[in-house]
Structure 1
Amino acid sequence: MDNDAIEEMFEGLGPVTIRRMFGGKGIYHHGRILALEVDDEILLKADGETAPAFEEAGGRQWTYVGRKGSKPVRMPYWSIPEDAYDDPDIMAKWVRLAYEAALRA
């Protein structure tokens, strides 16, 4: 995903900084990481307070398999609920929740 498209997704929050990392991108607001771009998908930060809302809305938690034979590692990043892609107000809600989780981390 190109940086212009990412910046547009986060307009409801304000300006973001995008940095390359781990073969993807880290997305920051006021110095706090609140999202990742991995394999052309944006994943928003969540925590114990906000993860249930992501799950209820159909989001899925990002996991990866570490070393060979190890169990999947669950990361504190969730996919964006589908309805947010068609509505900037809904997208703004989710990116604000991600920033709030970043502030609590």
Structure 2
Amino acid sequence: MAVSPEFRAFVVESLGRVAPTVTSRGMFGGVGIYSAGIFFAVIDDETLFLKVDDTNRGDYEAIGTGPFRPFGEDKQGMQYYELPADYLEDADRLRPWVEKSIDVARRARKGKKK
């Protein structure tokens, strides 16, 4: 569950190249990632997970990654899927994944306010 300060800084810097006002906050042993106040990603155990719903889950499944399972592999996954670390090194490759996840988080946030 640990996240090193170096990996956290790397993720925030990388995401900051493709999204506005990226910030992070420690939570439950991991790190929550926000863009302009919208919670769209989680770092846990040196792995980045981005927010998903039915509009983008298939993108992650197509590249062979799965859901964030903080309570064990035999438990239900959360609505965050792993993004391979090498995507963080290429802003052009990273941008569409981040933009879609921010859109998902924005829609989920609107749904909760109703």
Equivalent residue for 2:13, pick from 8, 15, 19: 8
Provide the identity percentage: 31
Q: 2:61 aligns with which of 55, 77, 82?
A: 55
- Displacement of 1:86: 4.1
Larger RCO (CA within 8 A; separation ≥ 6): 1
Match of 1:28 in 2: 34
Task: Choose between structure 1 and 2: higher helix proportion.
Answer: 2
Q: Give the aligned partner of residue 45 of structure 1.
A: 51
2:99 paired residue number: 96
Paired residue secondary structure (1:96): helix
Structure 1, unmatched stretches of 5+, are: none
Give 1:21's aligned amino acid: M
Question: What is the letter of the counterpart of residue 33 of structure 2?
Answer: I
Q: Structure 1, residues 53-100: CA drift from partner, whole Å, max 9, x if none?
A: 11112221112337xxxx502100001146524422111111111101
Separation (CA, whole Å) in 1 of partners of 2:23 and 2:13: 12
* Residues in 1 aligned to 2:64 and 2:19: alpha-carbon distance in whole angstroms: 22
Count of residues in correspondence between the two structures = 101
Equivalent position amino acid for 2:95 in 1: A
TM-score under structure 2 length normalisation: 0.77
Q: Name the structure with the higher strand share.
A: 1
Q: In the alignment, residue 11 of structure 2 is paired with which amino acid?
A: I
Gaps of 5+ in 2: 109-114
Q: Is the 8 A contact 1:58 1:81 kept in 2?
A: no
CA 1:83–1:5: 2 relative to 1, 3 Å? closer
> For 1:62, what is the secondary structure of its paired residue?
coil
Give the structure-1-normalised TM-score.
0.83
